[in-house]
Structure 1
Amino acid sequence: MGGIEDVSIKRLGDSITDMGLTECDREKIHFLQHIQADVGHVLFFSFPEGKILATDTKIREAVPWFQYRGRPEECRSSVALSTDGEDNENGEAADGASTNISLQSAEVQSLLQDVLASSLISWVPYSCYKQIYEALEEMKKGRSQRAFLFFSYKKRSYAISLSTTKLDMSIIGMEIELIDESEAADGFYDTLVSLGRVMDLHADEKIVNLACDTVFRLLGAYDRGMVYKFYDDLSGQIIHEIKKSDSDIQSSFVGMRYPAGDIPLSARKLFIKNGLRYIRNVEGDEVQIVDQLGGDIDLTHCRMRACTKSHLLYMKNMGVKCSMSIAIVADGQLWGLLIFHGYTEPFKPSLHQRIACETINSMISVKVEAMQKQEQSTRIVELSKCLIKWRISASVANNIKQIGPEILKLFDADVLVGWFKDPSTPEAELVVVGDKALVPSVKFWSVVSQQPLGELQIMNTRAEIIDTTRLSETDCPASSVIYYRDTLFQVMVGRGLNYQDVRWAGNPYEPILRLDGSLRPRSSFDLYMEKGKRESKRWSQSDLHVLRRFIRKTAGYAHNRMMVILRSEIEESNVKYMNELNKARENHEFFSQIAHEIRTPFHGVMGCLNIIEEGRDEMSSAEVKDLLNTALTSGSHMTNLLDNILQIAMNKYLSHSLKFESFDYHSLASEIAQSLKSLALKNHVKFNAEILPKKGSIRVKADRTKVIQIVSNLINNAIKFAPGGNIEIRFQLIRTLRRSIHIWTEDASKYDGLVFSFGEQALFTTIRDVQHHVAQLPESEENKWILVSVKDSGCGMQPNEIREMLKPYTQTQDGTNATIQGTGLGLFICVSLCHQMDGFLACSSTYGSGTVFHVGIPVGDAKEAKENCVITSAHTAQESAFSSEEIPICGPILVCDDNSVNRKILNRSLALQLKNFGLDIKILEADGGEKCVELYRKERPSVLFIDYNMPQVDGLEATKRIRNYEAEHSSMRSYIISYTADVTEKTANLLRSNGTNEIMSKPPPKGFLSSVVGRFWLQGRSTEDFASLELPSPTPHSAANQNINEVSKILHDTAMGDETAHKKRTYQQLSGKPEKMKK
């Protein structure tokens, strides 16, 4: 019929379960079917039918108004009801039945059968019946399980207590007891009010002690009162005790521990459900309950319920005569008991007293639960304070390391171990906070990771850990564990064993059952001291609440961080994608323009050659020469374009290594101006250059080559865009950046528009923005600034065009300059080089009036840095254009290239130069590196032209093999010239370090082959071999002895295409004599 077993008792671990129960634990004490004698009577009936289901055997003879009154219809309608069911003065029932009938045992059984077969209305006065059903209706409306009413009969008062054994109220229990007229309810009320006021002054466990003392004094019949508090392992300890002042009790239970088995499982459940239990007399009799249901009447809410024999023996063994226990239930858990013992005479608390005690019980339970919640709230607040320190920018693992010790203290735990996976790292990170001796093994994580996601796994004891994980203490040293697993982390919180001395009330490890399974009563005064008891500290509801809050917060932080990183990665990916898309678009536009620019000169080359091919028989030599010159000019333009593209690629993709050199500032400025002055005059441009300061020898340190490249490019542009006009170049050496900007500001303010580039991201279009940016930069006294301004009187630019001028392939759109040919890459290269050197480049212009470019480059002071720098002169670049090393000739020339066209062109070019010098030297060809090495071993050529990029055996490998062969056979070293389109310094160094003497670019510079052939000297040949030029026999190493300026003139004449002058200079070089000049 349900009752106590329908209640869900949720304790941690297996605190209250059916596992491992003794016979006493399994005994259903709420189905004992007996009540205590001399306390009252019980009756059970169905609702709303009112059919009597059970009653005790003494009710008929002990309750004078409980007698048969007729069938239900008669009781409701006859004259008998005119008195409203009251009995007459003589004690007779309204239907004439006598109340003094004395019945024998057999007759009792027969009468009880009659009672169980009838309705309640047939046995109680109608007025009582009416009160009962009105009370039941109120219970039903209020969904309560108990109700009280009072009934008077013959100037005596009876208390009737109604309770339901089922939530649906299908069975009602009715307890009837006689009220002592001497009881004063007002006194109990005043006591409760006073207790409530006193309790409000306390916020700790003292209120439980206060309640115990209050009840003890309120009843006044007990000799000892105690507060019995339970621990997480269900053992209990007496924490407070009160005794009568006039008693001779010497013993004390304070501080004693009692094993969990002393209070059986069924009794614990009953206390949670019932709340109050009393025993009038441990030696008293019992009254049987007879029912129609075979002993299945639930006595959970029956205060008169009898006790088990084992419990009565327990009480007798302690010398107890009567007792009462009040349960303190907080948050659905049995917190403790208020226990009262009497040792002299029986005592039964009256209904008013029990109501007062139950009220006190409710007050104490609420107060204890409030204290627990307050403690829990305090811990939550402290947890929140810890979590405020959580840094969103840091990973979960790093945050746990930071606040872990505080969190561990809040958990009242010894170790916190977790694996935390951060989206920014590929592997999960292990974090340990607390006692490292309690860290579980890898096997533990492997086992517990099989548990469901998002569920808190609680293991309160070593036995539970072993039962759940099957792991030894080595793999899981903690004695109680909580584990949680999420998609981004898994965490374990553990506690170690507690060791303490315990004062037991009797040896808890001795068996407490007799051989027949009944309880063997212990002597509670036999003290047993256990030294160093090992106990696992179980997890309380407060612990779990704090842990769940922490885990929820941690999971939230982990998932939020994942979303932040994911969002950031998406944003970065989008930005990267858009940047790549813009780059791709820019590259597409750039290379579309470049393709057009390459096709233009290429069309010029191919067009001229096609015309010569088709009309060579009809064209004059002058026309052919003109077409050839046009083809050469187009080819030169295409070469320059390719050089610019390579320069841009190197600036963009290769490391920006700067070669700091020490050089003379005035010499450099003068050299640049003089080298381009002739070009300006050729284009009818007035050229004026000013170098400030005008005098002095100032050495500075910078990448000299890049400085020349930038300034020369700007001047060359000015010459092209100011045909017939004039340009002004001013070189200045300024002490600081701010002073340089001041000078630039004065010039730029005279123009309508400007653009200023300083660094890869800094692009400005107003003077104010430039000044503000420069003001934020730290000023350095270590560097000076070369400031060069190039002003032209050309077409100028519209303001909207100026900003685009520093992008690749950008030129002014003015139609009057459509005839000016250029690639638009020069300025872009200048900007890139300026960025590499931490300089700036600015353009200011007014449409129709002209443009001025400013370039500022920081340079170091080279006065004390000569030892660390490469000292160069103004002639260095010119002198190093072609080598001056003599080339001894005693064998043929070998040309190696996998491309037949390249071999043919180089062969014909060499043959032409040999003819010009009157040399007859055999030229061999090889179509690959393998064939090249083979021909070398067979023919022993003196000079080899080897292509760098070839399939299978490339030029580098072929050179290595040739040099190895020469070393092995101690033969004279041939002169190897590597030629390639890869003109980077890295490739040049690689080739030279592996045996290359000289490097020739593709296509070779003008005059290069003439320079090479001009350095030949034939071993064992006479001057007659140069009959066509009438040159004398070569003097060995004559070129090395020439004045460097003479060699420079030779190379300059060659580069300018003056073959006649070149021959004359070569004659001087080979003969060692100056040519006789004609008048």
Structure 2
Amino acid sequence: MSMNTHIEFPKDQDRKTAASTRLADRNKISEKELSECDREQLHLVGHIQGGSGHVIFLSYPSGQIIAADAHVRAVPWVRKRGTMPLKRKGEFSSNNNNMDTTEMENKSREILGAFLQYWIPFGLYQDLFEAIEGMKMAKSTRTFHFYKHKRKSYAITLSSTSRDCSVVGLEIEEVDGNEATSDFYSTLVSLGRIMEFYVDEKIATTACDTIFNLLGKYDRGMVYQFNDDNSGEVVHEIKKDFVSSSYLGMRFPASDIPKSSRELYVKNGLRYIHDVESDETPIVDLQSRTANNNNNNNNSEMDLSQCRMRAVAKPHIVYLRNMGVLCSMSIAIVVENELWGLLAFHGYTKPFKPSLHQRIACETINSMVSVKVEALKKKAQSVRIIELSETLLRWSQNSSVAENLQTIGTDILHVIDADILVGRIQDPSKEEADVVVVGDKSIAPQDSVWAKFNDHPSRELCAINTRSALEAMGISKEMSPACGIVYFKHGLVQLLLGRGLRCQDVRWGGNPDEPKLKIGGILNPRKSFETYMEKARQESRAWSSSDLQVISALTDRVSEHSHNRMMSLLKADIEDANVKYFNAIARARENNNFFAQMSHEIRTPFHGVMGCLNILDESRKEMKTEEVKDLINTALSSGNHMLHLLDNIINISKNKYLSHSITREKYNYHTLASEATQSLKSLALSKQIKFHSEVFPQHDYIVIVTDKTKVVQIVSNIINNAIKFSPKGRINVKFQLAETRRDTIRKWGEVASSYAGTVYTMTEGEVLYSVSSVESEVAKLTELENQKWMLASVTDSGCGMKPEELAEMLQPYTQSGSGGSKATPIEGTGLGLFICVSLCHQLGGFLACSSTPGKGTVFHVAFPVGTPDPLAVDGDAEHQDAPAIISLPAETIPVQGPIVVCDDNKVNLKILQRALKSELKKRNLTVDVELANGGQACFDLYVKERPSVLFIDYHMPEVDGLQATEMIRQFETKNGLNPSYIISYTADVTERAAQLLLSKGTNEIMSKPPPKGFLEEITSRFQVVDQA
């Protein structure tokens, strides 16, 4: 059964004349032109459509004209400066009224080899080159420029097929000035509505109808979707009333749109033919100019990939004429860099060229529809993956791969849309492999097929879509009847999925098997598009990228199962995964709590600072000196508290996310104990708390090996807690040495047993609550047993804690020690002990706490401290009293010229400048303090003034403190200058930051804000040098 697909045109004389003209003009196309459709590179056709506009190709950046269309001199402003423009046909002067096409072409050749700036208005030339620069910087292939000349408007499209824009094409066409402000914007509004209201598979249909109605010049619009075999089907159609034929539901063979044409659609998303009867305009270049002088008609082969005026291959013109088409436009829908389909539009009555703004709107549709279709495809793919994942939930870890395939194989085939699933599992203990076949057993592969994949990499999918590809691998139809397979292997497991041929009735637009080549190799574009019904057509289905993504979910599960079974670790792996999962949830919850708590804690002292400053700003004139001092002290106290909070946050970050580096060095035992208590002794006495410390043994000279920084931090933190919870009480700090770990535990146990409750921790996550349980666990340990241990105890007479409070005390954000009363909250974050516990674990020691409500609390911390080789003690004496420091030893600093302060923050500059001037004034030093806003400004000021002292901030935009310091040191070396003294100041107090700064030439590091006494100490070393 067939249906004639003719077009019924309105019966007016103009359309009859146009139809007869088309029939006559078909003879103008040569046999040579008809024979080169598939062989010719379509982007090198060497012509543009006649009447569509003009093109110029120039070399960039020289601006030399290397090619142009043969009629480009018809553009009134394309002329050599100082000459009159050539007039178009019908407008020539009496001296030029005999100028024909040949003469126009010769005139156009005159510009070849010349420079564009001498052939167009200079202002336009400058604008075009600015546009090219912008296109190059944006890494774009196209941009636009609009130009007015004597009441006419021109659109100039600039495009390039190369990234460096070495060759740029200019497409010149007249435009309607009113269209740019009306039709274009209304079109874009309509496009927005498409995206707003249509979010399903109808997006392409809606886009087709929108373009058809907006342009109004085409007579038929279609959505043309490609199949796996590159044939296409019209899945939607809209047409005008007089068009009686219909292509809806028809399929067209792949040969109707050759491969080269499909590839060009991916690169250039829109193609139009404004009149199939118009003459083409050749492109001439320097080579063709020479050839023309030799009477050789050789047109240029310029790359027209991005040229919308490009002429099309002659077979396509004949093809359209055979369909009765006079003008057409096609818009590509590209999904995942492949041609998904076309929005095709045909006009049968009048030529039509879409304007530039209309084409831009259509290309915008092209992008939006492509993105939406791709999103819909990914959504469908996600649905399939979820469905397969739900099926794979029934995959039993206690069953073999073969057993699982037998159980859920049918459901897997349904999701993957395959006809057969074959699993081959080779058990090393058996000679024969186990083979499981699920689905259509008639297309099951023979055993010899598996050997064809011996060299295929493990865990990689191998997809074969055609019978010819299988034959190329040596797999005949008898060996594997499936027409498309996917193969996978991992370890001892191999999988093969297959698809067989499917039969269906197909409604073709003409006979798809009609030969395209006549005898002699001449192309014969089809003349008939009558409906051709093919019954029971057998077709294969290619494996799409979406299919392979879904299959990957299956192969991942098979790989996991195969690996776990082979290694006999399935149960342990699952348990480990569960532990990690819950730990991740716990860490996430902990982090959330941390930031919520820190936000609250930081805002409280910040409010205190801001509140005091606001009061001072509003009422300082009426306030007494004592009141002002009180507010200032309150603000300083709040600021110090904020710094303490930030220190805690940094410590938590270090302990959780950085490697736990331990710096073990030799120190004097008595000196270390003194440093751990001295700074807090005055604080306790200022609060009327009795403070007593003792070190045992008292008089022996003892050298220990430990990380002094961490030990001092732990002990100081515990003493600070005791001060907070012991108002007007007493605190006793005691240091002892023990020969073994058991001796240490004995000393601790003697004290802890006299308190109501005890908590002890030595390893992360493990907490013990009695002396006996601790002694029992420690008896099992052998590591570090025979090393010397240092035990520090801090006893206070504070409110004490209940046993149940001790259980929560070591958790972050927890404050205990109220003796059951919460009436008087204690300021703090609840992180101090948490940090101490972490540091103790890093040092291999333990932390314990014993307490009785109303009596007080005692904390014990102990670490293995080892003893150095006695023979090495004297040689390393310099390390016994002080740890390594990050700055150079104190020395006199010569000051010559101004002191430079560099920061990108004006407030920081102002504060540090004022603080320095104050210290300099105290010491009667007359030195200017100059400011530099940023690293580059600092370097420039250094080169100009040559200061001998600079304070440089670390973190700054563009040129930071590291770069500025390095630039200064390089300048000094290059010019043989004495090195300036550079103090880097930063809020980044990590060891890595200090190492980086010192490596670039920093002399000393100052934290933000400066520690108390730092500026006083460093200015005391300043010595002004007489510059005379």
Q: Please, what TM-score do these two structures have when normalized by structure 1?
A: 0.46
Q: Please, what TM-score do these two structures have when normalized by structure 2?
A: 0.49
